[in-house]
Structure 1
Amino acid sequence: MPHALSSNRASKVAAEWKNDLARDGYAVVKNVISEERAAYYVNQMNHWLEGFGLGYKASDPSTWKPENVPVNMKGGMYHDYTVAHEKFTWESRLEPGVIATFAELWNTPELLVSFDGINLTPPFKHPDTRKWPHIDQAPYRHGMQCVQGILAFSQSGPKDGGLAVLNGSHNFVEEYLKSHDMKNIGSWGIEDHYQFDEEQQRWFAEKGCETIKVCVEPGDLILWDSRLIHYNTPPQGDTVRAIIYVCMTPASFASAEDLKKKKEIFEIWGRTTHWPHKNIWLDLKVPQRNGKDDPLNRTEPVTKPVITEQLLKLAGAMPY
């Protein structure tokens, strides 16, 4: 077990990643959980996938095929099947290092968490090779209002699946939106989500925003400003990508109406967007397999989380 950081050293480390986040729009916080805990979550995720009975076996790479796993995005992003509320998903959100990092970021321990999904992407060729560079904050929300996170359970090197960003692009998003006709940049809709095409990305490149593949080790936590242009990259080597998406913001950011919605969604094991405190809406769609509702769809977790006061407060189901 590594020794605990002294308070002075911990403050210095936090100052470093906070500066990275402010300057670059993203930061890597090292060793938020142990490698042993990271391996535990990989095992839990594999067990969850194998439980669908579609032929996927974590120990047998020959079974790592699209037809052997449930419906997903980009070969391994899972948002359906109530995975947002599986016991292991909530356990990862409740990791002391994860909560402490977001508490340090926002200067408060009173946080809400998004009901987000997981990513377990084997290195098989997937038909959807698009990059989807996007941001997750609409132009009418100014400044840093949401910081997303990826808790890494696997290594992500330059050629491994992971997160890519346009470094510093969060500093220019508002300028871009003000200087371009809103009619030409699409509709933001209810998800605070907008994708940038190649021409639009060149505008940011001319501002000095370099495309960077973020590299991490098991147990690291990536944080990024929701205004930062970012996208998922598929594995190019033999490493299976295993992560959970986790985002926390201060509970004080949420209105009473949004907290009411969040509590209702939690009580039916629903999922939300990346936003913990705003833009809260229930996605009722059923995953589609071969053009039909997937009969393997679930309305409650296979293994429900242990309900604690801390969990209920993070879920917005109990006030601080």
Structure 2
Amino acid sequence: MRPGTLKLRGDTRRPEAGVFPDLDSKGYTVVKGAIPAERAAEYVQRMYGWLESFNLGFKGNDPSTWHIDRVPYFNRGGIYTRNGAGHEQFAWDIRGEPGVINAFAKIWGTDELLVSFGESCYGTMLIADAVNISLPYPKEEMEGQRGKPWPHVDQSPNKRFKNCIQGIANLEKNGPDDGGLMVLSGSLPLFEEYFKAKEASGDAPEWSWRDAAWYSDDDLQWFYDRGCKWVKVEADPGDLILWDSRTIHYGANAQGSRPRVAAYVCYKPAADIHPDMKAAKLHAMEHHISTSHDPLLFRMTGSQIEKKIAEDERPGPIVKPVLTQRMKRLAGLVDY
């Protein structure tokens, strides 16, 4: 399935303006208490239990075991893009949290939503819709690509309108040094201007319909010259962080003593999905295949699609998840 071959209409439904004012002005916001704190703590323990199930020596309650050779493969600071993480029961339970769903229902003006699921990795191009367990690993273990910032947007330059709002269900206390979402404040209103300037300069490639664009140091300087600055988004356990996909961002590594534990979530109106993509979604769900972040226009990815990194890589979740009726509708298994 190649979603880029589908016609992208200019009149596609847009997220509601003014529901979360900071989303329109800053490109991001924090919705307090979307998940009760006690349930957020339970999710942390369940996610630690998932890491422990690989029997590599990791123990969630023993920081002396927090080393990269004791956990399965991850991208960047702690994004788990394989081994069926996105279809584990804890991932679906987070997607089914009423407070998380309600925030997106406000954004779209409807509670008849579809959710993305699984993890997403386009080779070296990572689009976040996974689980994130960023532990404060020793600095020497995070050298190379895993330790570098990776500024990007999660929207194709061919779509310059407000098209997608993404979310992070934050499960641990997330302060200035605990890893997490870094946003380039002021970059949202410059999204269209930047790509127009690139085209006018003759330095623009043929933009892909893939929902990703990456920024070099020279690209970022263009934004710095216009007053944009990096901001670390802080959140409490159970908070929902939202951002417009046109906002430049990346996930910072944990630098202090606390871990970052979170899940990525994204919902869009069910009525807007193309029939071909609905069929692809059902196929992905049936086979526990991962998808990229946009619930309506996605690529299938993950351990069943990408080349294996480890011989013992799991093709899906440990146990097939049990879905509520609400989750089945979010997955596209049951119509509204």
- Root-mean-square deviation (Å): 1.9
Residue equivalent to 1:95: 97
Over residues 182-230 of structure 1, what are the superposed CA-to-partner deviations in whole Å (9 max), with x where a residue is unaligned? 9745565464111101111121122232210001110100000001000
Residue of 272, 287, 302 corresponding to 1:268: 287
The structure-2 alpha-carbon separation of the partners of 1:15 and 1:265, relative to structure 1 and needing over 3 Å to count, comes to: closer
Aligned residue in 1 for 2:170: 152
Distance of aligned partners of 1:161 and 1:187 in 2 relative to their CA distance in 1, 3 Å threshold? farther
How far the C-alpha of 1:303 sits from its partner, in A, is 2.8
- Residue 51 (structure 1) aligns with: 53
Q: What TM-score do you get using the length of structure 1 for normalisation?
A: 0.89
Quote the residue 2:124 is aligned against.
none
Match of 1:250 in 2: 269
Counting only pairs closer than 5 Å after superposition, residues 232-247 of structure 1 correspond to structure 2 as: 232-247=251-266
4+ residue segments displaced more than 6 Å: 14-17
- Residue 73 in structure 1 maps to residue 89 in structure 2: no
Of 37-46 and 278-287, deviating more is 278-287
Q: What is the DSSP-based 3-state SS (H/G/I as helix, E as strand, rest coil) of the residue aligned with 2:157? A: coil
In the other structure, the counterpart of 2:306 is: 285
Matched, 1:194 2:210: no
Question: Is 2:317 aligned against 1:301?
Answer: yes
Distance of 1:66 and 1:30 partners within structure 2: 32
Kindly provide the amino acid, as one letter, of the partner of residue 42 in structure 1. V
Trace 1:132-151 onto structure 2 (pairs within 5 A): 132-151=150-169
The residue type paired with residue 122 of structure 1 is L
- Contact map agreement 1:286 1:297 (CA 8 A) in 2: no
Are 1:315 and 2:331 matched, yes or no? yes
**Corresponding residue to 1:174 among 192, 199, 203:** 192
Q: Percent identity?
A: 41
Q: Which of 231, 237, 249 matches 1:230?
A: 249
Ranges in structure 2 where 5+ consecutive residues have no aligned partner? 1-15, 118-128
Query: Which consecutive unaligned segments of at least 5 residues does structure 1 have?
Result: 1-13, 289-293
Of the candidates 235, 246, 252, which is equivalent to residue 216 of structure 1?
Answer: 235
> Where does residue 130 of structure 1 map in the other structure?
148
8 Å contact 1:262–1:280 — kept in the other structure? no
Rate the CA distance shift 1:316–1:185 in 2: closer, same or farther, 3 A: farther
Q: Residue 73 of structure 1 aligns to which amino acid in structure 2?
A: N
Q: Determine if the alignment matches structure 1 residue 38 to structure 2 residue 40.
A: yes
| Structure 2 SS opposite 1:219 | coil
Q: Distance in 2 between matches of 1:147 and 1:234?
A: 23
TM-aligned CA distance change 1:186 to 1:272, over 3 Å: farther
In 1, Cα distance between the equivalents of 2:68 and 2:328?
35
Shifted more, 181-190 versus 70-79: the winner is 181-190
Secondary structure of residue in 2 paired with 1:163: strand
SS of equivalent residue, structure 1 residue 234? strand
Partner of 2:130: 117
Distance 2:61 2:153 in 1: 36
* Native 8 Å contact 1:191 1:273 kept in 2: no
**How many residue pairs were aligned?**
302
Q: Give the C-alpha shift of residue 105 in structure 1.
A: 1.0
**1:130 Cα shift?**
1.2
Deviations 1:98-136 (A, max 9, x none): 111110111100111111310111101312221000001
Q: 1-side partners of 2:233 and 2:273: how far apart? A: 30
- 1:297: how far off? 1.3
CA gap 1:24/1:67 in 2 versus in 1, 3 angstroms:
same
Q: Structure 1 CA distance, aligned partners of 2:321 and 2:135? A: 26
Give distance in 2, aligned partners of 1:282 and 1:69: 21
Q: Given that residues 158 and 215 in structure 1 are in contact (C-alpha distance below 8 angstroms), is that contact kept between their aligned partners in structure 2?
A: yes
2:20 corresponds to which of 13, 18, 21:
18
Q: Distance in 2 between matches of 1:57 and 1:239?
A: 15
| Compared CA separation, residues 191 and 67, structure 1 to 2 (3 A) | farther
